[in-house]
Amino acid sequence: MSRSADLPGTMTCVEIGEPGGPDALKPAERALPRPQEGEVLIRVAAAGVNRPDVLQRKGNYPPPPGASDLPGLEIAGEIVALGEGVGEEMLGQPVCALVSGGGYAEYCTAPVGQCLSVPEGVSMEEAAALPETLFTVWHNVFERGYAAQGERLLVHGGTSGIGTMAIKLAKLFGITVYVTCGSDEKCEAAEKVGADAAINYKSSDFVEEIKRLTDGNGVNVVLDMVGGDYVPRNIQCLAEDGRHVSIAFQRGMSAEISIVQIMQRRLVLTGSTLRARDTGFKTLLADEIANNVWPFVEEGKLRAEIDKVFPLKEAAAAHAHMEAGDHIGKIILKT
């Protein structure tokens, strides 16, 4: 293993004690993780906070086999040690990375194939806000949903990290974006981010609004993180040959749908989870993003929407802020 000379033996991290509320997150000291073959050790400057972290804290989303038990799925920082098979040129490189766990710490390992170089002019907080949402949106909207220039996309949770990234990325590729939000203030914020229209689902029927906004034609793709009774309503919003992509199920894992509608209108229902996919798949996904999306980051045309930055040791406060539901964009931890 190649490494920088000044690495400490221990690090500060944030553990989940007993599953529960935000105060289940406790600062702790641990030994530095050791990069395995094909991995790098990153001195973490910033880490993103995501809904799966909240689910894990509550005991509802255990890490996949072999992953760290610490929460945290995206990080940014400097590579300070290399596992076997990683080129020496990677040492000292500023990167952001998608990881399967361990991000709430001063040091974290990552497969080298899941790292993306941080361009000049991009802060570590900005870089840490990119991987989880970018990998998720690229794979689900573009690879599974086949969204293309000139099409129309509906995204629920328009001011979430996923929602704001979906707006920005889709607009860069010439897609019309409609979103739903829970207040007029959030609708206004989503439109400032770039949504063509934002629908307050508490005061309007989003199905009827989509029909109105699209002159009855519907949308080509729905990115759904709500599930439950939203699924049949989403299907009503789809155009012929439309694609429905599920990435979460906040309102339930089951839905009753009309198979006849699927057949007659040639609809596609798909979805995915990212965390448990293997390194080979995530490496291919990182390559796709490096080729198709990263130039927008390098040119300053794509930045994550950041709501608030908390110190690492205040991870509990960051989770409480996320669960309050008032944030616009990403919540970040800074070491």
Residue found by looking up tokens 């789809």 in the block: 238
**Is the pTM higher than 0.75?**
yes
The DSSP line for 257-315 is --HHHHHHTT-EEEE---TTS-HHHHHHHHHHHHHHTHHHHHTTS----EEEEEEGGGH
Residue 10 β-bridge partners: 31
- How do the residues of the chain divide into helix, strand and coil, expressed in percent and rounded to 5? 35, 30, 40
pLDDT at 61: 92
pLDDT at 110: 98
Beta strands in the chain (DSSP E): 2-3, 10-16, 25-31, 39-49, 74-82, 94-98, 107-111, 115-117, 152-156, 176-181, 197-200, 219-224, 238-246, 268-271, 306-311, 330-334
Residues 6+ apart with CB under 8 A from 216: none
The pLDDT profile of the chain, 335 residues, written as one tens digit per residue, is 777 768 999 999 999 999 999 999 999 999 999 999 999 999 999 999 999 999 999 999 999 999 999 999 999 999 999 999 999 999 999 999 999 999 999 999 999 999 999 999 999 999 999 999 999 999 999 999 999 999 999 999 999 999 999 999 999 999 999 999 999 999 999 999 999 999 999 999 999 999 999 999 999 999 999 999 999 999 999 999 999 999 999 899 999 999 999 999 999 999 999 998 999 999 999 999 999 999 999 999 999 999 999 999 999 999 999 999 999 999 999 99
- Which CA distances in Å does 178 have to 199, 219, 223, 330? 8, 9, 10, 20
- Which CA distances in Å does 201 have to 12, 16, 187, 191, 261? 42, 34, 10, 15, 24
Per-residue burial over 218-229, b = 16 or more CB atoms within 10 Å of its CB, e = otherwise: bbbbbbbbbbbe
A 10 A CB-CB count for 131 gives 29
Contact between 162 and 193 (Cβ < 8 Å): no
The length of the chain in residues reads 335
